[in-house]
Copies of this chain bind each other. A is one copy, B any other.
Protein backbone atom coordinates (compact mmCIF):
# COMPACT_ATOMS: atom_id res chain seq x y z
CA UNK A 1 0.00 0.00 0.00
CA UNK A 2 1.46 3.35 -1.05
CA UNK A 3 1.10 5.78 1.83
CA UNK A 4 -0.77 8.95 1.11
CA UNK A 5 0.97 12.21 1.69
CA UNK A 6 -0.68 13.68 4.74
CA UNK A 7 1.84 16.35 5.49
CA UNK A 8 -0.68 18.98 4.50
CA UNK A 9 -3.64 19.03 6.85
CA UNK A 10 -7.01 19.94 5.32
CA UNK A 11 -6.80 23.68 4.87
CA UNK A 12 -10.27 24.16 6.28
CA UNK A 13 -9.48 22.41 9.54
CA UNK A 14 -7.80 24.25 12.43
CA UNK A 15 -6.29 21.39 14.44
CA UNK A 16 -4.92 23.65 17.17
CA UNK A 17 -8.34 25.18 17.76
CA UNK A 18 -9.95 21.73 17.70
CA UNK A 19 -7.45 20.27 20.18
CA UNK A 20 -7.66 23.38 22.34
CA UNK A 21 -11.45 23.20 22.57
CA UNK A 22 -11.43 19.49 23.36
CA UNK A 23 -8.64 19.98 25.87
CA UNK A 24 -10.75 22.52 27.71
CA UNK A 25 -13.68 20.15 28.13
CA UNK A 26 -11.41 17.17 28.88
CA UNK A 27 -9.52 19.10 31.55
CA UNK A 28 -12.80 20.16 33.14
CA UNK A 29 -14.01 16.55 33.20
CA UNK A 30 -10.67 15.28 34.49
CA UNK A 31 -10.58 17.89 37.22
CA UNK A 32 -14.10 17.00 38.35
CA UNK A 33 -13.23 13.30 38.40
CA UNK A 34 -9.98 14.03 40.26
CA UNK A 35 -12.07 15.65 43.01
CA UNK A 36 -14.99 13.25 43.19
CA UNK A 37 -13.21 9.94 42.68
CA UNK A 38 -10.67 10.21 45.46
CA UNK A 39 -13.02 11.22 48.26
CA UNK A 40 -12.29 9.27 51.41
CA UNK A 41 -8.68 8.58 50.49
CA UNK A 42 -5.90 9.80 52.79
CA UNK A 43 -5.36 13.52 52.12
CA UNK A 44 -1.80 13.54 50.82
CA UNK A 45 -2.30 10.45 48.64
CA UNK A 46 -5.37 12.15 47.19
CA UNK A 47 -3.34 15.32 46.55
CA UNK A 48 -0.64 13.31 44.80
CA UNK A 49 -3.24 11.72 42.50
CA UNK A 50 -4.79 15.12 41.81
CA UNK A 51 -1.39 16.69 41.17
CA UNK A 52 -0.59 13.93 38.68
CA UNK A 53 -3.92 14.30 36.90
CA UNK A 54 -3.42 18.07 36.68
CA UNK A 55 -0.15 17.65 34.75
CA UNK A 56 -0.63 19.79 31.63
CA UNK A 57 -0.84 17.68 28.49
CA UNK A 58 -2.04 17.68 24.94
CA UNK A 59 -4.89 15.30 25.91
CA UNK A 60 -4.29 13.54 22.61
CA UNK A 61 -5.74 10.24 23.85
CA UNK A 62 -9.03 11.78 25.02
CA UNK A 63 -9.25 13.75 21.75
CA UNK A 64 -8.91 10.46 19.84
CA UNK A 65 -11.60 8.84 21.96
CA UNK A 66 -14.05 11.72 21.48
CA UNK A 67 -13.30 11.99 17.76
CA UNK A 68 -13.89 8.26 17.26
CA UNK A 69 -17.23 8.61 19.05
CA UNK A 70 -18.24 11.49 16.79
CA UNK A 71 -17.35 9.58 13.63
CA UNK A 72 -20.54 7.61 14.25
CA UNK A 73 -22.50 10.17 16.27
CA UNK A 74 -21.75 13.54 14.65
CA UNK A 75 -22.34 16.76 16.55
CA UNK A 76 -21.43 17.77 20.07
CA UNK A 77 -20.69 14.77 22.28
CA UNK A 78 -22.42 14.44 25.66
CA UNK A 79 -20.46 15.07 28.86
CA UNK A 80 -20.26 11.35 29.57
CA UNK A 81 -18.12 10.91 26.44
CA UNK A 82 -15.66 13.37 27.94
CA UNK A 83 -15.64 11.40 31.17
CA UNK A 84 -15.10 8.21 29.17
CA UNK A 85 -12.22 9.87 27.33
CA UNK A 86 -10.58 10.67 30.69
CA UNK A 87 -10.17 6.94 31.37
CA UNK A 88 -7.27 6.62 28.95
CA UNK A 89 -5.73 9.85 30.24
CA UNK A 90 -5.88 8.47 33.79
CA UNK A 91 -4.05 5.31 32.66
CA UNK A 92 -1.56 7.39 30.67
CA UNK A 93 -1.01 9.58 33.75
CA UNK A 94 -0.31 6.63 36.02
CA UNK A 95 2.27 5.31 33.52
CA UNK A 96 4.03 8.69 33.51
CA UNK A 97 4.11 8.84 37.31
CA UNK A 98 5.82 5.44 37.40
CA UNK A 99 8.08 6.21 34.40
CA UNK A 100 9.40 9.33 36.12
CA UNK A 101 10.40 7.47 39.32
CA UNK A 102 14.06 7.47 40.37
CA UNK A 103 14.20 3.69 39.79
CA UNK A 104 12.81 4.18 36.27
CA UNK A 105 13.69 7.19 34.06
CA UNK A 106 14.48 9.41 37.07
CA UNK A 107 12.90 12.55 35.63
CA UNK A 108 12.45 15.58 37.87
CA UNK A 109 10.46 17.62 35.38
CA UNK A 110 7.36 16.77 33.38
CA UNK A 111 5.96 19.51 31.16
CA UNK A 112 7.89 22.07 33.14
CA UNK A 113 6.52 20.97 36.52
CA UNK A 114 8.32 18.96 39.19
CA UNK A 115 7.30 15.30 38.94
CA UNK A 116 5.10 13.58 41.52
CA UNK A 117 7.93 11.85 43.39
CA UNK A 118 9.77 15.18 43.66
CA UNK A 119 6.79 17.09 45.07
CA UNK A 120 5.72 14.19 47.29
CA UNK A 121 8.10 11.21 47.60
CA UNK A 122 8.83 8.06 45.59
CA UNK A 123 6.71 5.78 47.81
CA UNK A 124 3.71 8.07 47.47
CA UNK A 125 4.29 8.22 43.70
CA UNK A 126 4.30 4.42 43.43
CA UNK A 127 1.03 4.20 45.36
CA UNK A 128 -0.69 7.17 43.72
CA UNK A 129 0.16 5.69 40.32
CA UNK A 130 -1.16 2.25 41.19
CA UNK A 131 -4.33 3.71 42.73
CA UNK A 132 -5.16 5.42 39.43
CA UNK A 133 -5.66 2.03 37.75
CA UNK A 134 -8.78 0.85 39.61
CA UNK A 135 -10.03 4.44 39.55
CA UNK A 136 -9.85 4.39 35.74
CA UNK A 137 -11.80 1.12 35.56
CA UNK A 138 -14.56 2.58 37.70
CA UNK A 139 -14.74 5.82 35.71
CA UNK A 140 -15.04 3.72 32.55
CA UNK A 141 -17.89 1.64 33.90
CA UNK A 142 -19.81 4.67 35.14
CA UNK A 143 -19.32 6.78 32.00
CA UNK A 144 -20.26 3.91 29.70
CA UNK A 145 -23.36 3.26 31.81
CA UNK A 146 -24.37 6.93 31.49
CA UNK A 147 -24.03 6.54 27.73
CA UNK A 148 -26.55 3.73 27.83
CA UNK A 149 -24.13 0.89 27.20
CA UNK A 150 -25.32 -2.41 28.60
CA UNK A 151 -23.27 -4.56 30.96
CA UNK A 152 -21.77 -6.81 28.23
CA UNK A 153 -20.58 -3.75 26.27
CA UNK A 154 -19.13 -2.19 29.41
CA UNK A 155 -17.43 -5.45 30.32
CA UNK A 156 -15.89 -5.67 26.87
CA UNK A 157 -14.50 -2.15 27.15
CA UNK A 158 -13.02 -2.89 30.58
CA UNK A 159 -11.40 -6.01 29.13
CA UNK A 160 -9.92 -4.01 26.27
CA UNK A 161 -8.60 -1.34 28.63
CA UNK A 162 -7.01 -4.00 30.82
CA UNK A 163 -5.37 -5.64 27.81
CA UNK A 164 -4.00 -2.31 26.57
CA UNK A 165 -2.57 -1.57 30.02
CA UNK A 166 -1.20 -5.06 30.61
CA UNK A 167 2.26 -6.62 30.67
CA UNK A 168 1.52 -7.53 27.03
CA UNK A 169 0.64 -3.87 26.34
CA UNK A 170 1.66 -0.55 27.81
CA UNK A 171 3.52 -1.87 30.87
CA UNK A 172 5.46 -4.31 28.68
CA UNK A 173 6.53 -1.36 26.55
CA UNK A 174 7.57 0.61 29.62
CA UNK A 175 9.67 -2.31 30.77
CA UNK A 176 11.36 -2.80 27.38
CA UNK A 177 12.06 0.93 27.29
CA UNK A 178 13.55 0.75 30.79
CA UNK A 179 15.94 -2.11 30.06
CA UNK A 180 16.78 -0.66 26.65
CA UNK A 181 18.40 2.20 28.54
CA UNK A 182 20.67 0.00 30.63
CA UNK A 183 24.39 0.27 29.86
CA UNK A 184 25.31 -2.35 27.27
CA UNK A 185 21.74 -2.95 26.12
CA UNK A 186 21.29 -3.04 22.37
CA UNK A 187 17.94 -2.35 20.77
CA UNK A 188 17.54 -2.89 17.05
CA UNK A 189 14.88 -1.44 14.75
CA UNK A 190 12.40 -4.27 15.42
CA UNK A 191 12.98 -3.95 19.14
CA UNK A 192 12.43 -0.22 19.03
CA UNK A 193 9.18 -0.62 17.07
CA UNK A 194 7.98 -3.23 19.57
CA UNK A 195 8.67 -0.87 22.48
CA UNK A 196 6.61 1.89 20.92
CA UNK A 197 3.79 -0.36 19.70
CA UNK A 198 3.37 -1.58 23.26
CA UNK A 199 4.18 1.56 25.18
CA UNK A 200 2.25 4.06 23.08
CA UNK A 201 0.29 2.35 20.30
CA UNK A 202 -1.72 0.04 22.57
CA UNK A 203 -3.22 2.91 24.57
CA UNK A 204 -3.79 5.20 21.57
CA UNK A 205 -5.59 2.34 19.81
CA UNK A 206 -7.80 1.57 22.79
CA UNK A 207 -8.63 5.29 23.15
CA UNK A 208 -10.09 5.23 19.67
CA UNK A 209 -11.76 1.86 20.17
CA UNK A 210 -13.48 2.94 23.38
CA UNK A 211 -14.94 6.03 21.73
CA UNK A 212 -16.06 4.06 18.70
CA UNK A 213 -17.48 1.20 20.77
CA UNK A 214 -19.45 3.69 22.85
CA UNK A 215 -21.03 4.86 19.59
CA UNK A 216 -21.73 1.31 18.38
CA UNK A 217 -19.03 0.93 15.70
CA UNK A 218 -18.78 -2.31 13.70
CA UNK A 219 -15.70 -4.56 13.79
CA UNK A 220 -14.27 -3.29 10.48
CA UNK A 221 -14.22 0.26 11.73
CA UNK A 222 -12.79 -0.80 15.09
CA UNK A 223 -9.97 -2.61 13.28
CA UNK A 224 -9.27 0.40 11.06
CA UNK A 225 -9.16 2.70 14.08
CA UNK A 226 -6.82 0.24 15.81
CA UNK A 227 -4.44 0.34 12.84
CA UNK A 228 -4.64 4.14 12.77
CA UNK A 229 -3.86 4.31 16.49
CA UNK A 230 -0.90 1.96 16.22
CA UNK A 231 0.61 3.82 13.26
CA UNK A 232 -0.04 7.19 14.87
CA UNK A 233 1.68 5.94 18.02
CA UNK A 234 4.78 4.97 16.07
CA UNK A 235 4.81 8.31 14.24
CA UNK A 236 4.40 10.08 17.56
CA UNK A 237 7.39 8.28 19.09
CA UNK A 238 9.59 8.82 16.06
CA UNK A 239 8.78 12.53 16.26
CA UNK A 240 9.48 12.49 20.01
CA UNK A 241 12.90 10.99 19.31
CA UNK A 242 13.54 13.64 16.66
CA UNK A 243 12.50 16.41 19.05
CA UNK A 244 14.86 15.11 21.71
CA UNK A 245 17.74 15.72 19.31
CA UNK A 246 16.60 19.03 17.85
CA UNK A 247 14.89 21.00 20.60
CA UNK A 248 16.01 22.69 23.80
CA UNK A 249 14.78 21.87 27.29
CA UNK A 250 12.83 25.10 27.44
CA UNK A 251 10.86 24.23 24.34
CA UNK A 252 10.27 20.64 25.46
CA UNK A 253 9.37 21.32 29.09
CA UNK A 254 11.62 18.42 29.99
CA UNK A 255 15.30 17.55 29.96
CA UNK A 256 16.50 17.67 26.32
CA UNK A 257 19.20 15.53 24.76
CA UNK A 258 18.54 12.96 27.45
CA UNK A 259 18.26 10.06 25.01
CA UNK A 260 21.57 10.95 23.36
CA UNK A 261 23.30 11.34 26.73
CA UNK A 262 21.96 7.96 27.80
CA UNK A 263 23.21 6.30 24.60
CA UNK A 264 19.64 5.14 24.11
CA UNK A 265 18.48 3.58 20.84
CA UNK A 266 16.18 6.03 19.04
CA UNK A 267 14.96 6.40 15.50
CA UNK A 268 17.53 9.14 14.75
CA UNK A 269 20.34 7.07 16.32
CA UNK A 270 19.37 3.97 14.32
CA UNK A 271 18.34 5.59 11.04
CA UNK A 272 19.64 9.16 11.06
CA UNK A 273 17.55 12.30 11.45
CA UNK A 274 16.43 12.59 7.83
CA UNK A 275 15.30 8.96 7.49
CA UNK A 276 13.57 9.13 10.89
CA UNK A 277 11.55 12.10 9.68
CA UNK A 278 10.61 10.20 6.50
CA UNK A 279 9.53 7.23 8.57
CA UNK A 280 7.20 9.41 10.61
CA UNK A 281 5.62 10.64 7.36
CA UNK A 282 5.20 7.04 6.18
CA UNK A 283 3.59 6.01 9.45
CA UNK A 284 1.02 8.79 9.37
CA UNK A 285 0.34 7.83 5.76
CA UNK A 286 -0.38 4.26 6.80
CA UNK A 287 -2.58 5.58 9.58
CA UNK A 288 -4.79 7.58 7.23
CA UNK A 289 -4.80 4.79 4.63
CA UNK A 290 -6.23 2.40 7.20
CA UNK A 291 -9.16 4.74 7.82
CA UNK A 292 -9.88 5.46 4.17
CA UNK A 293 -9.88 1.73 3.39
CA UNK A 294 -13.12 1.47 5.37
CA UNK A 295 -14.42 4.80 4.09
CA UNK A 296 -13.63 6.81 7.16
CA UNK A 297 -12.88 10.32 5.96
CA UNK A 298 -12.25 12.22 9.14
CA UNK A 299 -10.83 15.76 8.92
CA UNK A 300 -10.02 15.55 12.64
CA UNK A 301 -8.10 12.27 12.50
CA UNK A 302 -6.28 13.22 9.32
CA UNK A 303 -5.40 16.59 10.76
CA UNK A 304 -4.21 14.95 13.99
CA UNK A 305 -1.88 12.73 11.96
CA UNK A 306 -0.50 15.80 10.23
CA UNK A 307 -0.26 17.60 13.56
CA UNK A 308 1.93 14.85 14.99
CA UNK A 309 4.32 15.39 12.10
CA UNK A 310 4.24 19.16 12.44
CA UNK A 311 5.62 18.88 15.97
CA UNK A 312 8.78 17.29 14.54
CA UNK A 313 9.51 19.88 11.89
A residues near B (Cβ < 8 Å) are 38-42, 44-46, 49, 94, 98, 101-104, 121-124, 126-131, 133-135, 137-138, 141, 150-152, 154-155, 158-159, 161-163, 165-168, 171-172, 174-176, 178-179
Contact = CB atoms under 8 A, between A and B. Distances in A.
Contact of A167 (B46, B126, B161): B46
A42 B154 CA distance: 29
A178 B127 CA distance: 10
B123 A141 contact: no
Nearest to A161: B134
A94 B130 CA distance: 10
A155 B44 CA distance: 30
A104 to B, nearest CB: 5
Given A130-B94, A134-B162, A137-B162, A123 B45 contact: no
A158 B135 CA distance: 12
A118 B299 CA distance: 51
B154 A126 contact: no
A226 to B, nearest CB: 16
A165 B124 contact: no
A135 B49 CA distance: 22
A162 B188 CA distance: 39
Contact of A141 (B127, B135, B159): B159
B126 A138 contact: no
A103 B130 contact: no
Nearest to A181: B123
Given A126-B101, A155-B154, A175-B44, A39 B168 contact: yes
30 contacts: A38-B168, A40-B168, A41-B167, A42-B172, A42-B175, A45-B167, A45-B175, A94-B130, A98-B126, A103-B103, A103-B121, A103-B122, A103-B123, A104-B123, A127-B174, A131-B166, A131-B167, A131-B171, A133-B133, A133-B134, A134-B161, A134-B165, A134-B166, A137-B162, A138-B159, A138-B162, A138-B163, A141-B158, A150-B151, A155-B155
Contacts of A179: 42, 44
A206 to B, nearest CB: 11
Given A151-B151, A154-B155, A158-B141, A124 B42 contact: no
